[in-house]
A = this chain, B = another copy of it.
Amino acid sequence: MSVRLEVRKLTKEAFAPFGDVIETEGADVRLINGGTTERFHALAQAQTGGGAAIVSIFRGQPRSCPYSVTMMERHPLGSQAFYPLQNRRWLVVVAQDVDGRPGSPEVFLASGAQGVNYRANIWHHPLMALDDVSDFLVVDREGEGNNLEEFDYPNPFEINWSK
């Protein structure tokens, strides 16, 4: 018997407890390069905890619904940013920490023009592409130390959602 999760639209306000939404909407815009370029500035900042910020590409298989959320992970030493490269919607699943464990997951539907940056130590589900195999530009941390913690929920949660 799994608890069914609500899926909400991703907004800066709703996501604020977990990190940044990377999107042009509502951003600080600066005109640069002799007026040829708009710079939507500092939509996210990398936390690297003594390591380095690296750029990678993640290629995720699409998830299908109903989807069972059985585990979460977090990176104690660094933030992790994801931005979709094919303008394809995707799911962002995070949780507040409750005594060192993830609480009930919160699910956000991101558009293909929305990325996120999970702050260090924020519980989140591994990448959830939708609809098709999808690439994401990722900015996260490389360096010494254990930067991965995982938690298996004793009872799974269910995402059952379409459109």
Chain B residue with the shortest CB-CB distance to A60: B37
**A95 near B: Cβ within 8 Å?**
no
Q: How far is the CB of A135 from chain B (nearest CB, A)?
A: 8
**A93 near B: Cβ within 8 Å?**
no
Given known pairs A36-B126, A46-B52, the reply for A27 and B57 (CB within 8 Å) is yes
In angstroms, Cα B87 to Cα A87, docked, is 10
**Are the C-beta atoms of B126 and A59 separated by less than 8 Å?**
no
In angstroms, Cα B30 to Cα A142, docked, is 14
Interface size of A as a range: 35 or more
Chain B residue with the shortest CB-CB distance to A86: B87
Q: How far is the CB of A109 from chain B (nearest CB, A)?
A: 19
In angstroms, Cα B139 to Cα A53, docked, is 9
Residues of B within 8 A of A61 (CB): 36-37
Which of B37, B60, B137 contacts A137 (CB under 8 A)?
Answer: B137
Q: How far is the CB of A141 from chain B (nearest CB, A)?
A: 10
B-facing residues in A53-96 (Cβ within 8 Å): 53-61, 63, 81, 83, 85-87
Chain B residue with the shortest CB-CB distance to A71: B34
Given known pairs A45-B142, A52-B46, A137-B137, the reply for A40 and B60 (CB within 8 Å) is no
In angstroms, Cα B112 to Cα A87, docked, is 13
8 A–B contacts, CB within 8 A, in A order = A37-B61, A37-B127, A41-B54, A43-B54, A46-B55, A55-B83, A55-B139, A139-B139
